[in-house]
Structure 1
Amino acid sequence: MHPEHAPHPPVIRAPQVHRPTPFPPPATAPAPLALVQPDQVPAVASIVLPDGRIVTGYAVHPAQPAAAKPAVSRTAVNVALGGIGFGAVCGGLFLLTAFIAALTAFITQLIILAAVIFGGWIAVQVLGTGGHRGGTTVNIRRAVFKRNHFHG
């Protein structure tokens, strides 16, 4: 193998440590500072990375969850429930109109049936052969037909 193409050994660098630099004191009178409790001051932490570098910084605490907002607003829920109720009412109204149409057809058929039965009863009473109720009786056997004229 040619020496120019030989693999190079990995370069190991010395770890670098970075430390925060404090601010110099102000030349004028310092402004009054609010007192901070020791438990509220974030701690400085250092970690060593796998390649040997050291990283220093403030520890970040997980944020406390705020009051959880519902995934869906109350207005959207109310609108959806109103739509479901309206759909249920429309279905009921459709069934009601179908019931009224069927009842109307049934009553119409009953009226027609009554008219047919009553009309038949009237026809039997008018044209019936049972019993004579007065009037003129014509005996057709004795009648004489001449030239399509009846002479009785």
Structure 2
Amino acid sequence: MFPENTGHRPVEQAVTIHQPTRIAPYPAAAPVVPVQPVGVPAVTSIMLPDGRVITGYAIDHTHPDPVTAKPLISRTAVNIALGGIGFGAVCGGLVLLTTFIAALAALVQQLIILAAVIFGGFIAVQVLTAGRERGTTTVNIRNAVIKRNHFHG
């Protein structure tokens, strides 16, 4: 418990001994009669042509359960293929949808530009023809004479 070189001596401890408790014997069961199991056939002996005798159980061959015909393609594979076809169809529709949205945006942009050009032309015509409607005279500046800050046309 303690290493020898430390100089300490182990302390003696009291030892308690426990005795096991006796168990009452189990009551004897009724005698068992050996019975041939229902599923095991009786022992059979067969003599081979060379004179040897083989002894053993005659076992009927078990026939496996009939296998149900499985489809050539599993349902999972069909579902995956149909999902892929559907996804491809949706992607084509989305491409057409985005193309339609881009064309519509370009149309709206062209209409706005056309409206600005027409409205700007209308404003320009109004400004340039405004002087003629009031009965003012257009003066050729090259022939006019300016004297003492007055314009004489």
Please report the TM-score for the alignment, with normalisation by the length of structure 1: 0.50
3-state SS of the aligned residue for 1:140? coil
The answer for the alignment partner of 1:140 in structure 2 is 139
Alignment of 1:23-34 (within 5 A): 24=53, 26=55
Correspondence 1:121 to 2:122: yes
3-state SS of the aligned residue for 1:95? helix
Higher RCO structure, 1 or 2 (CA under 8 Å, sep 6+): 1
Alignment of 1:52-131 (within 5 A): 66-128=67-129, 129-131=131-133
**Alpha-carbon distance in 2 for matches of 1:80, 1:74:** 10
What is the root-mean-square deviation of aligned Cα atoms in Å?
Answer: 3.7
Pair 1:120–1:75, CA change in 2 (3 A): same
Amino acid paired to 1:140: V
**Is 2:48–2:54's contact at 8 Å kept on the other side of the alignment?**
no
**Is 1:143–1:150's contact at 8 Å kept on the other side of the alignment?**
no
> How many residues of Structure 1 are paired with residues of Structure 2 in the alignment?
98
Percent identity of the aligned residues? 57
Deviations 1:63-120 (A, max 9, x none): 9962111111111111111110000000000000001111111111111100000001
Amino acid paired to 2:78: V
Deviation at 1:124, TM superposition (A): 0.9
**Alpha-carbon distance in 2 for matches of 1:67, 1:97:** 50
**Is 2:145–2:151's contact at 8 Å kept on the other side of the alignment?**
yes
Amino acid paired to 2:133: G
